[in-house]
C-alpha cells in the first residue's frame, strides 16, 4: 500500500521527498480540534505510511501557525460523539496508541493543549517554535489527561517539572520545552516544518530498519530494569541481524562508499 496525497479534508498529506511525508491537521475553524472524521483519517494515514516501503519518516504539523491542536472537539462530545474521537486500534485522534515503527516528528507552532499535547507526546521527536504553548489543563475541568499525557510527560520531563504542569494545568512555552528536554529543536515562528524536515532528512541518512528497531527498543525499555532492557535490545538486534541492511552497513564502510539502504 502506497501513501497517497490528500489535498482536502480534516487531515492533509503530502510527500516532501523520496522518504519523508508531512501530515497536516486541517480544521482551522475549530483550532484543529480532534473530531471523529479527523481521528479516522489520521489512523488511515498512519497505517498507509507503515505499509509504504518508501516512507521512512513522517512529520505531523498544523495548517495554522497559531495552533497545533486544541484537543478534543467539544462540539462532538456535546453531540454524543465522544467515542468517535478514539479508534479501537489507535486511541485518541487515531494516533496516540497506534502501532508504529516508523518515526514521527511533531512540528509544533502555537497552542498544543490537552489532546493536542498528547498528539505531540505520541511522536518520537518534537520541533517547536518560540510561540508554542504546551499544556494539560484537564484538572481545571475536573478531568485527567487520559490519552497518554500523564505517563508520557512524566517520562519526558523531570519529575517536579512534570508534576507542576499536571497539577496546575498551566502552559509551558516552547523555550521551556527545549530547556527541559521536551523538544528537540527550537525555531522562530513559521519555521518548525522546515526544521522538522532537516531533522527528518538526518534520520533518513541512516538504515531505516536500524532506526525503527532502535526507537522501538528505546520505547519499550523505558522504566525497565537493566536486565529487562538488555533483553529487549537483544530481541530487536536479533531481528535486525536477519536483514540485508544489517550486512550492507559494514560492507559499505569497508568498501569506503555510502551505504545503499533497502529497508529489508
118 is catalytic: yes
Q: In the numeric block, which cell numbers belong to residue 23?
A: 501530515
CA 89 to chain centre: 16
Could you give the C-alpha distances from 190 to 15, 23, 35, 107, 209, in angstroms and in order?
20, 16, 25, 10, 32
Residue owning grid cell 493543549: 113
Candidates 18, 138, 164, 195; catalytic one: 138
Q: In the numeric block, which cell numbers belong to residue 162?
A: 512534570
205 is catalytic: no
Strand partners, 190: none
- Percent of the chain that is helix, strand, coil (3-state, to 5): 45, 20, 35
Candidates 47, 86, 109, 118; catalytic one: 118
Nearest CA-CA partner of 122 in 87, 156, 96, 101: 96
CA distance 136 to 119: 12
Give the catalytic positions in this structure.
Answer: 118, 138
Amino acid at each position: 500500500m502506497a501513501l497517497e496525497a490528500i489535498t482536502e479534508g480534516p487531515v492533509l498529506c503530502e510527500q516532501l521527498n523520496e522518504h519523508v511525508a508531512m501530515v497536516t491537521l486541517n480544521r482551522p475553524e475549530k483550532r484543529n480540534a480532534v473530531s471523529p472524521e479527523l481521528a479516522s483519517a489520521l489512523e488511515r494515514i498512519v497505517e498507509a505510511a507503515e505499509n509504504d516501503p518508501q516512507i521512512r519518516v513522517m512529520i505531523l504539523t498544523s495548517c495554522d501557525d497559531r495552533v497545533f491542536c486544541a484537543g478534543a472537539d467539544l462540539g462532538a462530545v456535546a453531540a454524543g460523539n465522544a467515542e468517535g474521537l478514539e479508534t479501537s486500534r489507535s486511541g485518541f485522534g487515531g494516533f496516540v496508541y497506534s502501532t508504529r515503527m516508523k518515526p514521527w516528528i511533531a512540528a509544533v507552532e502555537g497552542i498544543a493543549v490537552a489532546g493536542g499535547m498528547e498528539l505531540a507526546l505520541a511522536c518520537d521527536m518534537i520541533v517547536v517554535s518560540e510561540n508554542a504553548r504546551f499544556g494539560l489543563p484537564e484538572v481545571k475541568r475536573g478531568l485527567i489527561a487520559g490519552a497518554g499525557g500523564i505517563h508520557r510527560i512524566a517520562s519526558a520531563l523531570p519529575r517536579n517539572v512534570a508534576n507542576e504542569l499536571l497539577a496546575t494545568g498551566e502552559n509551558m512555552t516552547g523555550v521551556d520545552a527545549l530547556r527541559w528536554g521536551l523538544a528537540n529543536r527550537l525555531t522562530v515562528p513559521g519555521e518548525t516544518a522546515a526544521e522538522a524536515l532537516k531533522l527528518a532528512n538526518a534520520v533518513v541518512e541512516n538504515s531505516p530498519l536500524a532506526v525503527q528497531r532502535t526507537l522501538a527498543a528505546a520505547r519499550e525499555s523505558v522504566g525497565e530494569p537493566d536486565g529487562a532492557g538488555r533483553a529487549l535490545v537483544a530481541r530487536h538486534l536479533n531481528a535486525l541481524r536477519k536483514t540485508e541492511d544489517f550486512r550492507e552497513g559494514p560492507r559499505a564502510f569497508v568498501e569506503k562508499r555510502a551505504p545503499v539502504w533497502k529497508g529489508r
